[in-house]
Amino acid sequence: MRWIMRSKIHKATVTQADLEYIGSITIDETLVEKAGLLPGEKVLVVSNSSGARLETYVIVGEKDSGIIC
């Protein structure tokens, strides 16, 4: 299987985090639509400061809330 990147949300700021929770990433519905993502889609989250990478899946957040957590 060959993986390709089909969309990118560049330099987004995480608005909230819970260190005790390991799982999904919630993204504002408007941003999900603009990026062409689907609920439950596997995504790669990369830290711009440390380069750390996390594979997770998308949960759609409230429209126009600006949430990324």
CB 45 within 8 A of CB 53: yes
Q: What per-residue confidence (pLDDT) applies to 2?
A: 93
Cα distance between residue 37 and residue 51, in whole Å = 22
Does 42 map to a domain?
Answer: yes
CATH number at residue 69: 2.40.40.20
> How many structural domains are present in the chain?
1
Active site positions, annotated: 24, 57
Cα distance between residue 26 and residue 67, in whole Å = 7
Residue 23: give the domain boundaries.
16-69
Does 56 map to a domain?
Answer: yes
Q: What per-residue confidence (pLDDT) applies to 40?
A: 96
pLDDT in tens, 9-68: 999 998 988 877 878 999 999 999 999 999 999 999 999 999 999 999 999 999 999 999
